[in-house]
Amino acid sequence: MAEQPAIDPMHQFLIHKMVEIPPVNIGGFLLDLSITNSIFTLLVGAALVMVFLALTARGEIVPNRAQAAAEALYGIIDNVLVTPIIGAGGRPYIPFIFTLFMLILTLNLMSVVLAVGNIGGQHWTFTVTAQLAVTATLAVITFFSVFILGFIKHGPKFLSLFWVPGMGIVGGILMVFIEMISYFVRPVTLAMRLFGNMLGGHVVMSLFGSFVVGLGIFALAGGIATLGWIGSGLSLAMIVALTGLELVVAVLQAFVFAALTTVYLNEVVNFGHGH
């Protein structure tokens, strides 16, 4: 197989096996359990979240900085999302929303902070939230957890969520199909929003990185080509600015995912309100 070109913004998203494990045969299907850069990043991210929360779950009256940071993050979910949107009935679901928020936030921040590793060809610095399989898995788990909870709490009555009153029989039946399509497309929008934002930002950063190197090499030729240093410097400045923007996007996308999850849970917890 031909070697990948030096400048390839999509090369950073390729899956590479880090630890080869023989496949396991389960009912005639071969299950590959090898540790890839994607799985490794997920494991590291999950471990960081667990270690951070374990170290900050001190319950001290006068918290240290780490505990204060953890309490502030928890407060965002409780006071900004759950309580205003769902109310007191949403408090049992704060751990679920908070876990999603912390995992996505950690994976997003890791992808930005460790992105410099891609320059050195380090495959373990993988942007896992730019992999659709990962974001789709998180979205599907979130969606069906909420959907199943709706049936557990309300039984078949939960299906009335798709009925729009005041439309008549024919119009109501037509709206049922429209409402169902709108409802079941939610995991797609959840997955694509996170995936698209993280993928696009890293591709743009990689392109400007290639400009820094390419124009710098061009400037070494001397003569009028030395003007390439200007373009190389401007590209480097853009990378710095984009890195700051990506950090903001990393936090924002984790918050948006948690916010939409809260909105979906609100339809279950406060079912029938406004219907």
Question: Bridge partners of 19?
Answer: 35
pLDDT beyond 60 at 2:
no
Per-residue confidence (pLDDT) for residue 137, from 0 to 100: 93
Residue 205: CB atoms within 10 Å: 21
Q: What separation in angstroms does the CA of 209 have from each of 101, 196, 206?
A: 30, 20, 5
Closest CA to 48 of 94, 93, 113, 139: 113
Domain span at residue 178? 11-269
Alpha helices in 155-227 (DSSP H): 168-184, 186-219
Assigned domain for 5 exists: no
Assigned domain for 149 exists: yes
Q: What would the mean pLDDT of 32-46 be, rounded to a whole number? A: 86
**Which DSSP letter does residue 125 get?**
S
Q: Which one has a higher pLDDT value, 163 or 10?
A: 163
Q: Helix or strand or coil: residue 18?
A: strand
- Name residues whose C-beta falls within 8 Å of residue 205's C-beta, 6 or more positions apart in sequence: 115, 239, 242, 243, 246
Strand (E) or helix (H) holding 30? strand 29-31
Q: What would the mean pLDDT of 115-123 be, rounded to a whole number? A: 59
Assigned domain for 191 exists: yes
Assigned domain for 3 exists: no
Q: Note the pLDDT tens digit of each residue in 49-84.
A: 999 988 887 767 777 888 888 889 999 999 999 999
Cα distance between residue 137 and residue 257, in whole Å: 13
Q: What separation in angstroms does the CA of 61 have from each of 64, 68, 94, 138?
A: 9, 11, 22, 35
Mean pLDDT score across all residues of the chain: 83
pLDDT band at 235, cuts 50/70/90?
Answer: confident
Q: What would the mean pLDDT of 153-172 be, rounded to a whole number? A: 79
CA angle 158, 161, 163 (to 5 degrees): 125
> What pTM, to 2 d.p., does this model score?
0.85
Question: Bridge partners of 31?
Answer: 24
Assigned domain for 56 exists: yes
Q: How many domains are contained in the chain?
A: 1
Residue type, 59: G
Assigned domain for 146 exists: yes
pLDDT band at 275, cuts 50/70/90?
Answer: very low
Closest CA to 108 of 255, 267, 266: 255
Alpha helices in 57-185 (DSSP H): 65-75, 83-85, 94-113, 132-154, 168-184
pLDDT beyond 70 at 89:
yes
Q: Note the pLDDT tens digit of each residue in 206-224.
A: 788 778 878 888 788 877 8
CA angle 116, 39, 254 (to 5 degrees): 65
Assigned domain for 6 exists: no
Assigned domain for 250 exists: yes
